[in-house]
Amino acid sequence: MNDETPRLAGDFWVYPSLHEVTGTSVRVNVAIAVEQPFDLQDSDVAVELVAGGQSLSVAEAPVPGPLPAIQMTGANAYALYRFDNPDGLAPESVTVTVRGGSATFDVSLAVG
């Protein structure tokens, strides 16, 4: 991934990572720093993946309800998405929106 630094999306630090699932889809995992586990619901987060100059359609999104979280010294919620990419277009950017605040990441070298 070109952008290797978490960014603020509103009040939340976010960081996406991309993984190729097949030649026709891309998985996006988003880590979101939260104060307490289960602070965020699936409906609080949206992710847009642009590839080949177009937004790809979401094939899978988090299940309804609180996002799963891991707590160590801080807590991270996780939102897992899969996007259809039937033409095998190269991902260019990911925009993560959390409760109205957005952060965009250059992912042009993330999957290859």
- The domain that holds 20 is classified in CATH as 2.60.40
What pLDDT digit, counting tens, does each position of 2-20 carry?
567 999 999 999 999 998 7
User: Residue 2: inside a domain, yes or no?
Assistant: no
| DSSP annotation of 57 | P
**What's this model's pTM, rounded to 2 decimal places?**
0.89
| Structural domain harbouring 23 | 7-106
User: What is the four-CA torsion angle of 74, 79, 80, 81, rounded to 10 degrees?
Assistant: -150
User: Residue 22: inside a domain, yes or no?
Assistant: yes
User: Residue 1: inside a domain, yes or no?
Assistant: no
Residue that is written with structure tokens 């801080």 in the block: 74
Predicted pLDDT at 64: 96
User: Residue 67: inside a domain, yes or no?
Assistant: yes
Average pLDDT over residues 93-100: 97
Predicted pLDDT at 3: 60
Is the model's pLDDT at 110 over the cut of 80? no
Cross-strand pairs, 12: 9
Predicted pLDDT at 111: 53
Predicted pLDDT at 1: 46
* Structure tokens that stand for 9 in this block: 């999306």
Total number of domains constituting the chain: 1
CB-based burial, 65-97: b 16+ in 10 Å, e otherwise? eebebeeeeebbbebbbbbebeeeeebebbbbb
User: Residue 111: inside a domain, yes or no?
Assistant: no
User: Residue 17: inside a domain, yes or no?
Assistant: yes
What pLDDT digit, counting tens, does each position of 29-84 carry?
999 999 988 999 999 999 999 999 999 999 999 999 999 999 888 899 999 999 99
Q: Is the CB of residue 101 less than 8 Å from the CB of residue 12?
A: yes
Average pLDDT over residues 85-107: 95
Contacts of 72 (CB under 8 A, 6+ apart): none
